[in-house]
Chains A and B, each alone.
Chain A
């Protein structure tokens, strides 16, 4: 959804401008910048790095500061005096933070399973099997993309409540466990598999399930990984929907639980910082391990804009 092919316009303008510009001194080629330039580039990179990572480190540092250390000091200290994990234990005394983490894992697991199975099957049918109504179904899937999730959130809540799933983790997980965008992505992935492979298997007498399992699936692993990762992130980070569905503080997911901690016990920034890190670090680990899929995913448009 997010890749855009660029046009090669502007070449004329470039050469026109080049005519009037002075030739550059030095005999270095275009692709070997001077050491000075490279140094400036690294300096700028470090500056941005400080701006981007700084707040996270500040939060991490706050979460490690003991009760004796003044966190409000006007001379901010980035390194804790005596680093302690005490706040992580204490946050678990204040809110059931590990239960919240488990709840988030459960929701994410249901969403991932649903999306992998549901979107693979539907994507395969839409891309590879000819049947009446394909166009209509496809059109309906596409139509849902112009609907921001927030627009239908009220009536989704009404629906989930009438299914008796209000205030349950199932109610949180169910609506997103087959995402329309992922169906379309899987359809695109299956459509890119060479048709000759399918035909050869068909000649050999393979049925639909065998073709899906042995020919389709091995060729769409990349897209499946992207969907798994983005579904995990989406479920883990989601806030508005679980906030609407859940009432009982025992059933909160991590994000809702953190807001609860923030609203109820705003006195101690060390505890909030510890809670924030509990929600943040797992995502960082997942991101670190599978980062190449992330960038691939963004390029292939696995994020609904």
Chain B
């Protein structure tokens, strides 16, 4: 007996269990239920069978959104698995002032995506810093439309995602690098291996599991993009709404007179299905690590 009254544990865990049931499990179940209805923000809610799912199939905006996610992932995966590793190697050695640099490199991570997108929106504006420099140096005659071009807007959002993510993955790599036994490096160095060969044969094998973990994290976060695209495009989703992400579509259908909660729920389930693979993979990695 660790406690006298049988209900003591339930009393302690009670609030958390209520939150688990009310704000997590029930919404998950209700998402499935809603996806079979025509629920609107203002009324509605009749059962409509598979209508919403049929609509998913010929939604061109959704096709664009999924294409955007794939592009996002394809660009972010190589950049965010490699650049943060190089950055971690750069800040790994405890030289004077290194804590300052590490902290500074982490700053974009703690800033809100809205703050970061507003800052980049200004830097990439038609009359902003980057266009100013480009025109001043004679590289372009007219401003580059970073924020209004179909693909340029997407790539601007990718650029700021990479910029914002560098510090986050850097810290993960740092703890992985700390676990690579220094004796391996010393032995290799004594044997005359240069920095490049030590990187290839000691560092890389040592951080490979972390690379896999980070790839899975990036895959999930590429599918969950919202704020960056939303703020950069002033909530419009670029020319003709072609720069929407799946989450932007969910947000769009969850509000206003044109809202359609049933369809938004079907979109949510689609999002769940596409993130499930990398999510389960992540859970397995964590269980192995634990």
Contacts and interface: CB of A to CB of B under 8 A. Distances in A.
B247 A150 contact: yes
B149 interface: no
B272 interface: yes
A56 B111 CA distance: 10
Given A22-B192, A121-B13, A159-B26, A279 B171 contact: no
Interface residues of B, number: 127
A131 B9 contact: yes
A294 B210 contact: no
Interface in B8-41: 8-10, 12-17, 19-20, 22-28, 30-31, 34, 39
Interface residues of A, number: 119
Given A151-B272, A154-B250, A141 B20 contact: yes
Interface stretch (B58-66, B71-79, B150-158, B275-283): B275-283
A147 B28 contact: yes
Contacts of A117: 15
Nearest to B111: A280
A234 to B, nearest CB: 10
Given A13-B205, A45-B91, A178-B15, 19 more contacts: A5-B209, A8-B184, A9-B206, A10-B184, A14-B184, A41-B95, A124-B12, A125-B9, A129-B12, A140-B25, A150-B271, A155-B28, A159-B22, A198-B2, A236-B112, A240-B226, A258-B118, A259-B114, A262-B118
Interface of B: 2-4, 6, 8-10, 12-17, 19-20, 22-28, 30-31, 34, 39, 87, 90-91, 93, 95, 101-108, 110-115, 118-123, 125, 127, 129, 132-133, 135-136, 163, 166-168, 171-172, 175-176, 179-181, 184-194, 197-198, 200-202, 204-210, 213, 216-217, 220-221, 223-224, 226-227, 230-231, 234-235, 247, 250-251, 253-255, 261, 264-265, 268-269, 271-272, 275-276, 279-280, 282-283, 285-286, 289
28 contacts: A2-B217, A4-B210, A6-B180, A15-B188, A21-B192, A24-B194, A30-B186, A30-B190, A41-B93, A44-B90, A49-B105, A59-B122, A75-B136, A121-B15, A122-B15, A125-B12, A125-B13, A130-B9, A147-B272, A150-B226, A152-B28, A153-B254, A154-B31, A155-B28, A174-B23, A177-B19, A180-B19, A208-B2
Interface of A: 1-11, 13-19, 21-24, 30, 33, 38, 41-42, 44-45, 48-49, 51-53, 55-56, 58-59, 62, 72-76, 117-119, 121-122, 124-126, 128-131, 134, 137, 140-141, 144-148, 150-159, 174-175, 177-178, 180, 183, 198, 202, 207-208, 212, 233, 236-240, 243-244, 255, 258-259, 262-263, 266, 269, 272-273, 275-276, 279-280, 283-284, 287-288, 291, 294-295, 298-299, 301, 303, 305
